[in-house]
Amino acid sequence: MERVMSGSKWEDLNMDCLVNVLTRVGIESLLLGAPFVCQSWYKASLHPSCWQIINFQKIERGPLACRGNATFVWLPDDCTEEALRYIADECPGLKALCLSYKLCHTYFPVIPELISKWKNLELLRLDRLRNMEKVFEEINCHCKNFHCLYACGAYIGEDTASAIVTFLPNIKYLHMRNANIYRESLEMILQGCKELVLLDARDCVGYECDDQLLKLASHISNFQHEGSSLFGDVEEYGHIDADSFDDTSLFLGPLHQ
Protein backbone atom coordinates (compact mmCIF):
# COMPACT_ATOMS: atom_id res chain seq x y z
CA MET A 1 0.00 0.00 0.00
CA GLU A 2 1.60 3.21 -1.19
CA ARG A 3 -0.21 5.69 0.98
CA VAL A 4 -1.50 5.84 4.54
CA MET A 5 -5.04 6.98 5.40
CA SER A 6 -4.03 10.65 5.56
CA GLY A 7 -2.84 10.51 1.96
CA SER A 8 0.85 10.99 2.75
CA LYS A 9 3.47 8.43 1.80
CA TRP A 10 4.76 5.86 4.25
CA GLU A 11 8.23 7.36 4.07
CA ASP A 12 6.80 10.73 5.13
CA LEU A 13 5.49 9.44 8.44
CA ASN A 14 6.65 11.29 11.52
CA MET A 15 9.91 9.77 12.80
CA ASP A 16 8.42 9.07 16.24
CA CYS A 17 5.57 7.14 14.60
CA LEU A 18 7.99 5.12 12.49
CA VAL A 19 10.09 4.25 15.52
CA ASN A 20 6.98 3.22 17.43
CA VAL A 21 6.03 0.86 14.59
CA LEU A 22 9.50 -0.62 14.23
CA THR A 23 9.81 -1.41 17.93
CA ARG A 24 7.01 -3.93 17.37
CA VAL A 25 8.07 -5.68 14.14
CA GLY A 26 10.69 -8.08 15.50
CA ILE A 27 14.37 -8.71 14.91
CA GLU A 28 14.05 -10.24 11.40
CA SER A 29 12.26 -7.19 10.02
CA LEU A 30 14.72 -4.86 11.72
CA LEU A 31 17.67 -6.64 10.15
CA LEU A 32 16.37 -7.72 6.76
CA GLY A 33 13.31 -5.63 5.97
CA ALA A 34 12.75 -2.14 7.35
CA PRO A 35 16.22 -0.68 6.59
CA PHE A 36 15.71 -1.32 2.87
CA VAL A 37 12.27 0.30 2.48
CA CYS A 38 13.51 3.86 2.18
CA GLN A 39 15.96 6.31 3.74
CA SER A 40 13.58 7.41 6.51
CA TRP A 41 12.83 3.81 7.48
CA TYR A 42 16.54 3.07 7.55
CA LYS A 43 17.11 6.00 9.93
CA ALA A 44 14.19 4.91 12.11
CA SER A 45 15.53 1.34 12.29
CA LEU A 46 18.72 2.69 13.88
CA HIS A 47 16.86 4.34 16.76
CA PRO A 48 17.95 2.92 20.16
CA SER A 49 14.35 2.11 21.10
CA CYS A 50 14.21 -0.53 18.35
CA TRP A 51 17.11 -2.48 19.83
CA GLN A 52 16.30 -2.75 23.50
CA ILE A 53 14.78 -6.24 23.20
CA ILE A 54 16.55 -8.60 20.80
CA ASN A 55 15.40 -12.17 20.21
CA PHE A 56 17.78 -13.87 17.81
CA GLN A 57 15.78 -17.10 18.05
CA LYS A 58 13.22 -15.39 15.82
CA ILE A 59 15.54 -15.27 12.83
CA GLU A 60 16.65 -18.40 10.97
CA ARG A 61 19.44 -16.85 8.95
CA GLY A 62 21.20 -13.58 8.53
CA PRO A 63 23.86 -11.59 10.43
CA LEU A 64 24.10 -11.73 14.20
CA ALA A 65 24.08 -7.99 14.65
CA CYS A 66 23.37 -6.14 17.85
CA ARG A 67 23.09 -2.53 18.87
CA GLY A 68 25.08 -1.47 21.90
CA ASN A 69 22.06 -0.17 23.80
CA ALA A 70 20.31 -3.57 23.96
CA THR A 71 18.90 -4.34 27.40
CA PHE A 72 17.31 -7.75 26.73
CA VAL A 73 19.00 -10.37 24.52
CA TRP A 74 17.77 -13.89 23.73
CA LEU A 75 20.43 -15.91 21.91
CA PRO A 76 19.86 -18.89 19.56
CA ASP A 77 21.21 -22.43 19.80
CA ASP A 78 23.75 -21.87 17.01
CA CYS A 79 25.31 -18.77 18.56
CA THR A 80 29.10 -19.03 18.48
CA GLU A 81 31.51 -18.21 21.28
CA GLU A 82 32.72 -15.29 19.18
CA ALA A 83 29.18 -13.91 18.97
CA LEU A 84 28.66 -14.41 22.69
CA ARG A 85 31.81 -12.44 23.43
CA TYR A 86 30.67 -9.78 20.96
CA ILE A 87 27.43 -9.35 22.91
CA ALA A 88 29.44 -9.01 26.12
CA ASP A 89 31.65 -6.30 24.62
CA GLU A 90 28.98 -4.38 22.70
CA CYS A 91 26.09 -4.51 25.20
CA PRO A 92 27.49 -3.35 28.54
CA GLY A 93 24.03 -2.09 29.56
CA LEU A 94 22.44 -5.51 29.27
CA LYS A 95 19.78 -6.16 31.93
CA ALA A 96 18.43 -9.54 30.87
CA LEU A 97 20.08 -12.48 29.11
CA CYS A 98 18.34 -15.69 28.07
CA LEU A 99 20.47 -18.60 26.87
CA SER A 100 19.12 -21.84 25.46
CA TYR A 101 20.16 -25.07 27.14
CA LYS A 102 22.32 -26.11 24.20
CA LEU A 103 24.10 -22.77 24.09
CA CYS A 104 24.87 -22.38 27.78
CA HIS A 105 25.81 -26.07 28.06
CA THR A 106 28.30 -25.70 25.20
CA TYR A 107 29.88 -22.46 26.40
CA PHE A 108 29.22 -22.71 30.11
CA PRO A 109 32.93 -22.31 31.06
CA VAL A 110 32.93 -18.94 29.28
CA ILE A 111 29.81 -17.50 30.93
CA PRO A 112 31.30 -16.70 34.38
CA GLU A 113 34.09 -14.80 32.65
CA LEU A 114 31.61 -12.66 30.69
CA ILE A 115 29.36 -11.85 33.65
CA SER A 116 31.83 -9.20 34.81
CA LYS A 117 31.04 -7.15 31.68
CA TRP A 118 27.32 -6.99 32.41
CA LYS A 119 27.31 -4.89 35.54
CA ASN A 120 23.66 -3.89 35.00
CA LEU A 121 22.44 -7.48 34.67
CA GLU A 122 19.20 -8.08 36.57
CA LEU A 123 17.85 -11.30 35.01
CA LEU A 124 19.57 -14.46 33.78
CA ARG A 125 18.11 -17.64 32.31
CA LEU A 126 20.25 -20.79 32.45
CA ASP A 127 18.08 -23.88 32.14
CA ARG A 128 18.84 -27.54 32.95
CA LEU A 129 22.34 -26.95 34.26
CA ARG A 130 24.45 -28.20 37.13
CA ASN A 131 27.30 -26.61 39.04
CA MET A 132 26.25 -22.98 38.63
CA GLU A 133 28.13 -21.82 41.72
CA LYS A 134 30.82 -19.89 39.82
CA VAL A 135 28.18 -17.98 37.86
CA PHE A 136 26.47 -16.93 41.08
CA GLU A 137 29.77 -15.85 42.58
CA GLU A 138 30.49 -13.60 39.58
CA ILE A 139 27.00 -12.14 39.75
CA ASN A 140 27.54 -11.33 43.42
CA CYS A 141 30.79 -9.53 42.59
CA HIS A 142 29.68 -7.56 39.54
CA CYS A 143 25.88 -7.33 39.26
CA LYS A 144 24.56 -5.35 42.20
CA ASN A 145 21.02 -5.02 40.79
CA PHE A 146 20.54 -8.72 40.00
CA HIS A 147 17.28 -10.11 41.33
CA CYS A 148 15.80 -12.71 38.93
CA LEU A 149 17.10 -16.19 38.05
CA TYR A 150 15.55 -18.77 35.73
CA ALA A 151 16.99 -22.23 36.39
CA CYS A 152 14.14 -24.36 35.05
CA GLY A 153 14.89 -28.06 34.83
CA ALA A 154 18.19 -27.61 36.63
CA TYR A 155 19.79 -29.85 39.24
CA ILE A 156 19.70 -27.92 42.51
CA GLY A 157 21.92 -29.84 44.92
CA GLU A 158 23.09 -28.63 48.31
CA ASP A 159 26.15 -26.91 46.83
CA THR A 160 24.01 -24.98 44.36
CA ALA A 161 21.42 -24.10 46.99
CA SER A 162 24.17 -22.92 49.32
CA ALA A 163 25.63 -20.78 46.51
CA ILE A 164 22.22 -19.18 45.88
CA VAL A 165 21.90 -18.28 49.55
CA THR A 166 25.51 -17.09 49.81
CA PHE A 167 25.85 -15.15 46.57
CA LEU A 168 22.24 -14.21 45.77
CA PRO A 169 20.78 -13.53 49.24
CA ASN A 170 18.63 -10.64 47.99
CA ILE A 171 17.14 -12.42 44.99
CA LYS A 172 13.44 -11.67 44.49
CA TYR A 173 12.37 -13.98 41.67
CA LEU A 174 13.59 -17.57 41.50
CA HIS A 175 12.18 -19.90 38.83
CA MET A 176 13.06 -23.58 39.30
CA ARG A 177 10.13 -25.33 37.63
CA ASN A 178 10.82 -28.96 36.64
CA ALA A 179 14.04 -28.90 38.65
CA ASN A 180 15.57 -31.79 40.54
CA ILE A 181 15.75 -30.39 44.05
CA TYR A 182 15.75 -32.26 47.35
CA ARG A 183 13.92 -31.03 50.41
CA GLU A 184 17.12 -30.06 52.23
CA SER A 185 18.16 -27.80 49.36
CA LEU A 186 14.74 -26.18 49.15
CA GLU A 187 14.68 -25.58 52.90
CA MET A 188 18.09 -23.93 52.66
CA ILE A 189 16.80 -21.51 50.02
CA LEU A 190 13.60 -20.77 51.94
CA GLN A 191 15.55 -20.01 55.11
CA GLY A 192 18.35 -18.03 53.46
CA CYS A 193 16.62 -15.91 50.79
CA LYS A 194 14.40 -13.61 52.81
CA GLU A 195 13.72 -11.13 49.99
CA LEU A 196 11.98 -13.64 47.72
CA VAL A 197 8.73 -12.39 46.21
CA LEU A 198 8.20 -15.35 43.88
CA LEU A 199 9.54 -18.88 44.09
CA ASP A 200 8.40 -21.22 41.33
CA ALA A 201 9.17 -24.80 42.38
CA ARG A 202 6.35 -26.52 40.51
CA ASP A 203 6.59 -29.99 38.98
CA CYS A 204 9.91 -30.66 40.68
CA VAL A 205 11.33 -34.03 41.70
CA GLY A 206 12.81 -34.51 45.16
CA TYR A 207 10.30 -33.03 47.60
CA GLU A 208 6.65 -32.90 48.54
CA CYS A 209 5.15 -29.78 50.04
CA ASP A 210 3.75 -29.98 53.57
CA ASP A 211 2.83 -27.64 56.40
CA GLN A 212 6.44 -27.31 57.52
CA LEU A 213 7.59 -26.12 54.10
CA LEU A 214 4.63 -23.78 53.80
CA LYS A 215 5.60 -22.25 57.14
CA LEU A 216 9.18 -21.75 55.98
CA ALA A 217 7.82 -20.11 52.83
CA SER A 218 5.34 -17.88 54.65
CA HIS A 219 7.41 -14.77 53.89
CA ILE A 220 7.07 -15.37 50.13
CA SER A 221 3.96 -13.80 48.63
CA ASN A 222 3.94 -16.21 45.66
CA PHE A 223 5.24 -19.70 46.47
CA GLN A 224 4.34 -22.15 43.69
CA HIS A 225 4.83 -25.83 44.52
CA GLU A 226 2.04 -27.69 42.72
CA GLY A 227 2.93 -30.95 40.99
CA SER A 228 6.15 -31.62 42.88
CA SER A 229 6.85 -35.11 44.23
CA LEU A 230 9.55 -37.16 45.90
CA PHE A 231 10.00 -39.44 42.92
CA GLY A 232 9.39 -39.23 39.20
CA ASP A 233 10.87 -38.09 35.93
CA VAL A 234 11.71 -34.44 35.46
CA GLU A 235 9.90 -33.18 32.37
CA GLU A 236 12.10 -32.27 29.43
CA TYR A 237 12.43 -28.52 29.77
CA GLY A 238 15.53 -27.66 27.81
CA HIS A 239 14.05 -26.14 24.68
CA ILE A 240 12.84 -22.56 24.94
CA ASP A 241 10.19 -21.89 22.32
CA ALA A 242 10.93 -18.64 20.53
CA ASP A 243 7.21 -18.01 20.09
CA SER A 244 6.83 -17.72 23.85
CA PHE A 245 9.01 -14.63 23.65
CA ASP A 246 6.03 -12.74 22.17
CA ASP A 247 4.78 -12.35 25.74
CA THR A 248 7.79 -10.55 27.15
CA SER A 249 5.92 -9.56 30.30
CA LEU A 250 6.97 -12.92 31.81
CA PHE A 251 10.55 -11.70 31.77
CA LEU A 252 10.24 -7.93 31.74
CA GLY A 253 7.91 -7.80 34.74
CA PRO A 254 10.67 -8.49 37.30
CA LEU A 255 12.88 -5.87 35.64
CA HIS A 256 10.36 -3.13 36.34
CA GLN A 257 9.70 -3.92 39.99
Give the model's confidence band at 3: pLDDT under 50 very low, under 70 low, under 90 confident, else very high. very low
Supply φ then ψ for residue 55, to 5 degrees: -115, 95
Please name every residue paired with 96 in a beta bridge, in sequence order, or none if there are none.
72, 123
Q: Please report the pLDDT score of residue 46 as a whole number.
A: 55
One-letter amino acid for residue 1 of the chain: M
Q: Which residue has the higher pLDDT, 243 or 42?
A: 42
Q: Is the pTM of this model over 0.85?
A: no
How far is residue 230 from each of residues 16, 179, 202, 207, measured CA to CA in Å?
55, 12, 12, 5
Give the model's confidence band at 178: pLDDT under 50 very low, under 70 low, under 90 confident, else very high. very high
Rounded mean pLDDT of the chain?
A: 77
Condensed to tens digits (0 to 9), the pLDDT of residues 211-221 reads 999 999 999 99
Condensed to tens digits (0 to 9), the pLDDT of residues 91-137 reads 888 888 888 778 878 888 889 999 999 999 999 998 777 778 999 99
Residue 235 near residue 211 (C-beta atoms within 8 A): no
CA 64 to centroid of chain Cα atoms: 18
Select, from the ranges 32-41, 74-83, 195-204, the one with the highest average predicted confidence (pLDDT): 195-204
Condensed to tens digits (0 to 9), the pLDDT of residues 82-98 reads 888 888 888 888 888 88
Describe the strand order of the beta sheet including 72-75 as a list of residue ranges. 53-55, 72-75, 96-99, 123-126, 148-150, 173-175, 198-200, 222-224
